[in-house]
Amino acid sequence: MNIPSSIWTLLIGVGLTLISLWYGQNHGLLPVAASDEAVLVDGLFNSMMTVSVGLFLLVEGVLIVSAIRYRQRPGDNTDGPPVFGNVPLEILWTALPAIIVIGISIYSFEVYNSIGGFSPHDMHEPVAQEATRMPGAAIAATLNDSPAANLNQQKSDEARQDPATASVRNDNQIPQKQNAPGMGVVAPTLGASSDREGKPPEMVVNVTGMQYAWIFTYPETGVVSGELHVPLKRETQINMTANDVIHAFWVPEFRLKQDAIPGRQTEVRFTADRVGKYSLICAELCGPYHGAMKTQVIVETQQDFDNWMTEQQASASTALNQAVAAVDRTDLSPNEFLAPYTKEMGIQSEMLQQIHSFHH
């Protein structure tokens, strides 16, 4: 084992460290951070990136140097030196990764704790119900204790009556779940961040995923929307579930992802801290049009949010009237008829076209 002389080792080590530190901060791989939680996650990623760059350069460097320096010279058919091992060196390279991963684990643990991963106060006990679960029998909800969840169910039932979603659902294939069954576990997968522990969220939004749309209901006002509007700097709790298959709620700019699982309710909390429009993407394969299942999150100031909410409330009643009136309008083709609804749902009309042509 010929290790380069110590001065070179030192210089290379310093060089590697500097490059790693620089790249770890300037990799430009992540989108803007738009929530309080995102900043913490980015800090974790940056430090992992720093270590990784150093490790990567070390390994590639050794490979390249070996390939050049230790290549077999023409005519030399002898063997290399019989080195079988080196205990201190092996201890070093066992201990070093161990220390690194322990460090990353502790850091991750901290971040996870601060974004509310443990928040045990929010754990809902699954409530035992006199649920009859013979086939065909109505299934009693276990989430009755939580009015929000109930409303969620109610609203999603309503939404399912909506012709817009009816056209993209395949009821014939998936018997829609009426209510969370017995196991209806309420899993607070990301609860209150540590500074807000024990406090209720400032705002609650119920989210239902279905093939291929998201439906947001605001339990305080009863507004139903196809886009998620959240006010700036207010801690928001999302209660989510799914109607048919598993979906996942993902906002890259919030660094936030959670599966919406039929039969369960999951909760995540976050605080948006940057005004803007971000995509909200379904991140769990949910069928052929999985790629089109996306909508927007609009983070706006409290005032804009309030305006939007008032508008929605006002238009809710008129929209309902229109919808009733529209039922009679048989002269329209399904696409024309659905256009205003699908637009609201964030569904592109091309997608509907494709569904009609491909779906049997």
Partner 1 sequence: MQSPTIDPAKTALNYHQAHATDSHHAEHPDLRRFGLIMFLAAEGMIFLGLFGSYLAFRATMPTWPPAGTPELELLLPGVNTVILIASSFVMHNADTAIKKNDVVGMQTWLAFTAAMGGIFLVGQLYEYSHLEFGLTANLFASAFYVMTGFHGLHVFVGVSAIVAVLWRSRVTGHYSSEKHFGVEAAEIYWHFVDVVWIVLFGLLYLL
Partner 2 sequence: MTQAQLQETANLPALAEEAGHRNWRDYFTFNTDHKVIGIQYLVTSFVFYCIGGVLADLVRTELRTPDSDFLNPELYNEVFTLHATIMIFLWVIPTGAGFANYLVPLMIGARDMAFPRLNAVAFWMIPPAGLLLIVSLLIGDAPEAGWTSYPPLSLVTGQVGEGIWIMSLLVLGTSSILGALNFLVTILKMRVPSMGVYQMPLFCWSMLATSALQLLATPVLASALILLAFDLLAGTTFFNPTGGGDPVVYQHMFWFYSHPAVYIMILPFFGLISEVIPIHSRKPVFGYTAIAYSSLAISFLGLIVWAHHMFTSGIPGWLRMFFMITTMIIAVPTGIKIFSWLATLWGGKLRLNSALLFAMGFVGTFVIGGISGVMLAAVPFDIHVHDTYFVVAHLHYVLFGGSVLGIFAGYYHWFPKITGRMMNEFWGRVHFALTIVGLNLTFLPMHKLGMEGMNRRIAMYDPKFTFLNEICTIGAYVLAVSTFPFIVNAIWSWMYGPKAGNNPWDALTLEWMTTSPPAIENFDELPVVATGPYDYGMGNRQTVQVPLSDEQEPVLAAGPKSILRADPDPAVAARPEDRH
State both tokens at 62: 């050794």
Cα distance between residue 348 and residue 336, in whole Å: 13
Contact 45, 28 (CB under 8 A): no
Q: Does 288 bind partner 1 (CB under 8 A)?
A: no
CA count, 13 A, side-chain hemisphere, 63: 6
Using the rule CB under 8 A, give the single segment among 254-262, 269-277, 303-311, 312-320 that binds partner 2: 254-262
Among 20, 208, 266, 342, binds partner 2 (CB under 8 A): 266
Among 20, 35, 119, 129, binds partner 1 (CB under 8 A): 129
- Rounded least distance, CB 202 to partner 2, Å: 22
Cβ contacts of residue 226 below 8 Å, gap of 6+? 213, 214, 215, 216, 295, 344, 345, 346
Residue 62, binding choice from partner 1, partner 2, none, Cβ under 5 to 8 Å by partner class = partner 2
Cα distance between residue 40 and residue 68, in whole Å: 42
Q: Does 44 bind partner 1 (CB under 8 A)?
A: no
In whole angstroms, how large is the CA radius of gyration of the chain? 27
Q: Does 349 bind partner 1 (CB under 8 A)?
A: no
Site for partner 2 in 10-49 (CB under 8 A): 29-31, 40-41, 44-45, 48
Contact 296, 228 (CB under 8 A): yes
Q: How many residues does the chain have?
A: 360
Q: Does 196 bind partner 2 (CB under 8 A)?
A: no
Amino acid letter, 171: D
Residue 283, binding choice from partner 2, partner 1, none, Cβ under 5 to 8 Å by partner class = partner 2
Residue 287, binding choice from partner 2, partner 1, none, Cβ under 5 to 8 Å by partner class = partner 2
Q: Based on the number of CB atoms within 10 Å of its own CB, is 147 exposed (0-12), middle (13-18) or buried (19 or more)?
A: exposed
Q: Does 59 bind partner 2 (CB under 8 A)?
A: yes
Cα distance between residue 168 and residue 334, in whole Å: 12
Cα distance between residue 111 and residue 188, in whole Å: 16
Among 74, 75, 80, 198, binds partner 2 (CB under 8 A): 80
Contact 308, 228 (CB under 8 A): no
Residue among 49, 182, 40, 228 at smallest CA distance from 117: 40
Q: How many residues bind partner 2 (CB under 8 A)?
A: 104
- Contact map string, positions 101 to 140, toward partner 2, x by CB under 8 A: xx-xx-xxx-xx--x-xxx-------------x-x---x-
Q: Does 6 bind partner 2 (CB under 8 A)?
A: no
* DSSP state string for 287-331: STTGGG-EEEEEEE-HHHHHHHHHHHHHHHHHHHHHHHHHTT-TT
Q: Does 189 bind partner 2 (CB under 8 A)?
A: yes
SS3 category, 217: strand
Using the rule CB under 8 A, give the single segment among 198-206, 214-222, 278-286, 312-320 that binds partner 2: 278-286
Q: Which is nearer to partner 2, 1 or 7 (CB)?
A: 1
Among 31, 43, 117, 126, binds partner 1 (CB under 8 A): 126
Site for partner 1 in 142-181 (CB under 8 A): 142
State both tokens at 276: 């803007």
Amino acid letter, 124: H
Among 17, 94, 307, 335, binds partner 2 (CB under 8 A): 94
Residue 112, binding choice from partner 1, partner 2, none, Cβ under 5 to 8 Å by partner class = partner 2
Residue 57, binding choice from partner 1, partner 2, none, Cβ under 5 to 8 Å by partner class = none
Residue 129, binding choice from partner 1, partner 2, none, Cβ under 5 to 8 Å by partner class = partner 1
Which residues of the chain form contacts with partner 1 (CB under 8 A)? Answer: 126-135, 142, 182-183, 185
